[in-house]
Structure 1
Amino acid sequence: MNIIVTGEHDEIARARIRRAAGPARVEFGGLAEGIEHADAVVGNVPEPLLARASRLRWVHSPAAGVDTILSDALLDSDVTLTSSAGNGAIPLAEHALLLVLMLDRDVPRWSRAQSERRWERFTHGELAGKTIGLYGLGNAGLDLAAKAKACHMRVLGMRRSSARPAPGVDELLGPDDFAYLLAESDYVVVTAPLTAATAGRFDQAAFAAMKPTACFVCVSRGGIADDEALLDALRRGEIAGAGLDAHGVEPLPVGSPFWALPNVIVTPHNGATTRETARRGLEILLDNLGRFTRGEPLRNVVDKSAGY
């Protein structure tokens, strides 16, 4: 059994990966050279290489999202795809709450005053009693729901299926309730993956359906919002502001208008970049390596047709 592991791993991580793989042969790198003999790959397999991967049975994404790895060829194949879903849920939820708080209290205004050494006091908001609408209730969305409840917020949550429990959510909504989520929320937070169903979901009509006092926050994937529609809504005052950690084009171009808008907070897709995220991701990989070599069911299997 041959396993190819791509990406950067220090010697300690490499030793742990080899131990977890047991009797399997592990190669770090060399994807193009070894793809014909690979039974499993950790990392992205470009479509031309996938065509040569006659033995491939499993691909693991080191990231929680699989939009950059789920090619048409992989989608149509019998190869099992797993992800590191859950590795960055905690810091991502923390970052989303940070952006909500910064928008609610107009932290950029304090930052400008500090840079100019001005003692500027003003009446700002508070989160208690406000409604947060979560578009996506995976690991990050559920963690954010708990954090929002701790801030005494009303929590609306939307997901495809209502079968699984949603602790911390006051109202569990389905896709048909999208307009209700938009109209009710003071903060709409996107924690959903980028899929065929979510791409461009926040368009001109969606932003027009939000309260003019509401803010839009995206911490999962850019492309779920139409950037031009979002810019237009911000400029026209259809919504009050935005906190963006995920962007349609990354890195965000120097000439992007988002940088200069006074009602926008930009962070560089950095919300889950913690040592703990990397540690949890490695633990998921190690668990799945052991399962794969023992012939046991894998963890975090992706529904390729759904995209997550």
Structure 2
Amino acid sequence: MANTPTIVVLHDGTPPAEMARIAEHANLRYATGEQLPHQIPGADALFVWAFRSEAITTAWPAADKLTWIHSASAGVDRLIFDELRDSAVTLTNSRGVFDQPMAEYVLATVLTFAKDLHTTLRLQDRRTWQHRVTERIEGKTALVIGTGPIGRAIASQLTAAGLHVTGAGRRPRTDDPDFGDVHTTDHLTDIIGEFDYVVLAAPRTPQTEGLINADVLAACRPTARLINVGRGELVVQDDLVEALRAEHLAGAALDVFESEPLPHTSPLWDMPNVLISPHMSGDTTGWTDELVDLFLTNLRAYVRNEELVNIVDKQRGYVSTPV
């Protein structure tokens, strides 16, 4: 490996200022999606800062020297395509940066529902004094779907707040250090009715896409709330709307959607029991510096021909873990 690799930073229109720290260690090129096919020839690595972009698919034939792609997000479903999957190019992600912030977001939404804070804010806007009785979260049950680092951070946060947390993932097991019992996602309709909160923290894969459908939602407790910080495609959005209308579900907190931004015409906007945030659950003060720190750790390893961290299993679509 050359001591000074050439790295293309794919951005969405404004190159991030944090890249200045990377320029000390690499020859940097900047590219929007349209510019990428012209900038990627001769590049050793690609840093995908515009993580919603799918430009790499179009630029792929011009990537004549590429050996490493790094994503500034934990999810890489928009980056993986057949040619990349079958190639020798290493793909890494930003796993670890977003775990705790997303867990705090989930806890915040649980508390918002339990203490009816969303109604309080609406009443305050109308200067309306309306006393209400709220809920406790201690002793409530939560099912976290997705047992990777983000799911585990969520489990830890909710457990500390007094909830009883169970996991759901690829395979069932007992005595998990963070979840205790882990159920398989193949049988959600059999178990989902046991929980007050259902939290989605799984990556988007062929196995998880459309996981929460009409049948699963109908099996939920009518008092349950759904929280999605994973991917919008995990939920069949039309089925969710119908479940909320039919009161098969008491509410939903949604940070991700099938289509982003969420269209103005979506009925979700007008539902008083729905919390909507614009894909920001993991974005906290200083997060961009943390992303660059992680990339620099991998860049140093890359230059030394050492193993990179957060290598994605391109067949599965996420970083494999031993649990």
Same-fold call, TM cutoff 0.5:
yes
Distance 2:272 2:255 in 1: 16
Q: Secondary structure at the residue paired with 2:22?
A: helix
Contact map agreement 2:225 2:252 (CA 8 A) in 1: yes
Deviations 1:88-136 (Å, cap 9, x if unpaired)? Answer: 1111111111112112222222112212222222111111111010011
Distance 2:175 2:86 in 1: 31
Q: Which residue of 2 aligns with 1:101?
A: 111
Contact map agreement 1:194 1:223 (CA 8 A) in 2: yes
Contact map agreement 1:222 1:248 (CA 8 A) in 2: yes
Distance 1:235 1:162 in 2: 33
In structure 1, list runs of 5 or more residues that go unmatched: none
Q: Which residue of 1 aligns with 2:198?
A: 188
Pairwise CA distance, 1:206: 0.7
Pairwise CA distance, 1:71: 2.3
- The code of the aligned residue for 1:40 comes to A
- 1:2 and 2:12 equivalent? no
Q: Which residue of 1 aligns with 2:30?
A: 28
Compared CA separation, residues 193 and 260, structure 1 to 2 (3 A): same
Pairwise CA distance, 1:172: 2.2
Q: Which residue of 2 aligns with 1:300?
A: 310
- The code of the aligned residue for 1:26 comes to L
Compared CA separation, residues 112 and 163, structure 1 to 2 (3 A): closer
- The code of the aligned residue for 2:152 comes to L
- The code of the aligned residue for 1:170 comes to G
Q: Secondary structure at the residue paired with 2:136?
A: coil
Structure 1 counterpart of 2:207, from 197, 203, 220: 197
Structure 2 counterpart of 1:17, from 14, 22, 25: 22
The farther-off stretch of 119-128 and 46-55 is 46-55
Distance 1:266 1:15 in 2: 34
Q: CA RMSD in A?
A: 2.0
Distance 2:176 2:118 in 1: 33
Contact map agreement 1:154 1:170 (CA 8 A) in 2: no
Q: Secondary structure at the residue paired with 1:36?
A: coil
Deviations 1:42-95 (Å, cap 9, x if unpaired)? Answer: 116522311221221111111111012112321222211110112111111111
- The code of the aligned residue for 1:145 comes to A
Q: Which residue of 1 aligns with 2:269?
A: 259
Contact map agreement 2:171 2:182 (CA 8 A) in 1: no
Q: Secondary structure at the residue paired with 2:159?
A: helix
Compared CA separation, residues 212 and 163, structure 1 to 2 (3 A): closer
Contact map agreement 1:157 1:172 (CA 8 A) in 2: yes
Distance 1:156 1:164 in 2: 10
Q: Which residue of 1 aligns with 2:321?
A: none
- The code of the aligned residue for 2:10 comes to T
- The code of the aligned residue for 2:28 comes to V
Q: Secondary structure at the residue paired with 2:40?
A: helix
- The code of the aligned residue for 1:190 comes to L
Distance 2:170 2:201 in 1: 13
Pairwise CA distance, 1:177: 4.6
The farther-off stretch of 249-258 and 155-164 is 155-164
Alignment of 1:105-120 (within 5 A): 105-120=115-130
Q: Which residue of 1 aligns with 2:74?
A: 64
Distance 1:128 1:225 in 2: 27
- The code of the aligned residue for 1:36 comes to P
Pairwise CA distance, 1:159: 2.2
Q: TM-score, normalization: structure 1?
A: 0.92
Q: Which residue of 2 aligns with 1:156?
A: 166
Q: TM-score, normalization: structure 2?
A: 0.88
Distance 2:39 2:265 in 1: 41
Distance 2:60 2:80 in 1: 11
- The code of the aligned residue for 2:7 comes to I
Pairwise CA distance, 1:305: 0.9
Pairwise CA distance, 1:36: 2.1
Q: Secondary structure at the residue paired with 1:60?
A: strand
> Sequence identity of aligned pairs in percent?
35
In structure 2, list runs of 5 or more residues that go unmatched: 319-323
Question: Which is bigger in relative contact order (C-alpha 8 A, separation at least 6)?
Answer: 1
